[in-house]
């Protein structure tokens, strides 16, 4: 049994991690951390988590004494913690953005701050198993991808891998409000978000440099990408409508065959018709559909931002790290409606 700690366990991602790990037969949550809820039980903060109600929150991450640590802290926080965990032999899956760039200059340009743990940047493995499964097997430090980045990369990778992009790509992305985290903001306040669709993160959303960086690792020169995210009146889920520029010989049938071939053997990617978000909600699945609208190719990508876009993908990465079947603890049906 792998003993795990969850740092930042009071937020949406941390709570989802605890829910999923409560169902995992080979990973036991032994410690949970959150400074603002120290000495409270998990059940007091997350009443839905009946199997973990008596576990108490601790405040000092120096007290982590487990095989694995899931770090679900805000941006610019985990880089102050992770180095010490690695030095003590704890393997780390960071759900935040602090280790998604191997280049400290790109990190600074994206997040407006110097990285506090540059010595470990180069060893972090980007935690998208469909692209980097073999690298993950021996990793000490995993950088769990961003939610928008996961949805976009899984949609674009087959086109990049086969060098089919001939021009710009437009990504029209929509996400529920849980992607902003548990702390309320003016933009996520219910009266602001409940009856509106709002583009945000402009002119350059933080996930766009992440997407470009990863595509540069797996294919030729990355295409020009216009990425516009929107907040929609939902709690969970991401739907991306992606408009790539491809050669005129590409057909709807050939696109569908390509995606089916590339993701054959990937247990959490489904290729088929135009997806609906409730299929993916609560799961680790990404639903892809590649088709043509008139003469224009369109790729749809749908996932749960707290699932395949966050906590569930972290569990998938843990399964890879410890040699478990990737599906362990994650064969959960979507909500459906």
- Assigned token pair, 108: 């600074």
* pLDDT 10s digits, 297-332: 999 999 999 999 999 999 999 999 999 999 999 999
Residue labelled with tokens 């097997």: 137
Cα 90 from Cα 231, distance rounded (Å): 36
Residues 6 or more apart from 221 whose CB is under 8 A from it? none
Is the distance from CB of 94 to CB of 33 less than 8 angstroms?
no
Q: In whole angstroms, what is the distance from residue 200 CA to residue 209 CA? A: 16
Domains identified in the chain and CATH numbers: 2-123 (3.40.50.720), 147-304 (3.30.360.10)
pLDDT of residue 102: 92
- For residue 130, the model assigns a pLDDT of 98
Beta strand 296-303 pairing with 225-231 = unpaired
Catalytic residues, by residue number, are 147
Mean pLDDT confidence for 178-198: 81
pLDDT band at 185 (very low <50, low <70, confident <90, very high): confident
Question: Is residue 40 exposed (0-12), middle (13-18) or buried (19+ Cβ within 10 Å)?
Answer: middle
Taking 90 as the threshold, does the pLDDT of residue 54 lie above it? no
Which of left, alpha, beta for 30 (phi over 0: left; psi -120 to 50: alpha)? alpha
- pTM recorded for the entire structure: 0.95
Distance between CA atoms of residues 337 and 318, nearest Å: 29
């Amino acid at each position: 049994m792998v003993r795990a700690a969850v740092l930042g366990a009071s937020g949406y991602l941390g709570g989802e991690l605890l829910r999923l790990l409560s169902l995992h037969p080979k990973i036991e949550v032994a410690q949970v951390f959150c400074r603002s809820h120290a000495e409270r039980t998990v059940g007091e903060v997350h009443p839905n988590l009946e199997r973990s109600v008596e576990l108490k929150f601790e405040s000092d991450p120096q007290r982590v004494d487990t095989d694995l640590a899931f770090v679900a802290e805000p941006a610019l926080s985990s880089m102050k913690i992770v180095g010490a965990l690695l030095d003590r032999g704890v393997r780390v899956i960071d759900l935040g953005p602090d280790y998604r760039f191997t280049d400290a200059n790109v990190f600074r340009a994206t997040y407006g701050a110097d990285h506090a743990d540059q010595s470990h940047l180069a060893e972090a493995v980007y935690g998208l198993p469909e692209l980097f499964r073999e690298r993950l097997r021996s990793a000490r430090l995993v950088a769990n991808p961003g939610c928008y980045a996961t949805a976009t990369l899984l949609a674009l990778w087959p086109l990049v891998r086969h060098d089919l992009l001939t021009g710009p790509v437009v990504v029209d992305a929509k996400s529920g409000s849980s992607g902003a985290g548990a702390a309320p903001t003016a933009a996520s306040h219910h009266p602001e978000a409940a009856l509106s669709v709002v583009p945000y993160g402009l002119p350059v959303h933080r996930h766009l440099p992440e997407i470009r960086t990863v595509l540069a690792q797996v294919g030729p020169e990355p295409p020009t990408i216009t990425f516009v995210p929107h907040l929609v009146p939902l709690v969970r889920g991401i739907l991306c409508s992606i408009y790539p520029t491809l050669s005129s010989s590409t057909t709807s049938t050939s696109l569908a065959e390509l995606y089916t071939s590339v993701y054959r053997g990937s247990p959490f990617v489904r290729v088929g018709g135009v997806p609906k978000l409730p299929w993916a909600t609560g799961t680790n699945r990404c639903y892809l559909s590649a088709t043509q609208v008139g003469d224009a190719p369109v790729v749809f990508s749908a996932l749960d931002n707290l699932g395949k876009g966050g906590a569930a993908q972290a569990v998938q990465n843990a399964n890879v790290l410890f040699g478990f079947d990737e599906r362990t603890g994650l064969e959960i049906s979507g909500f459906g409606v």
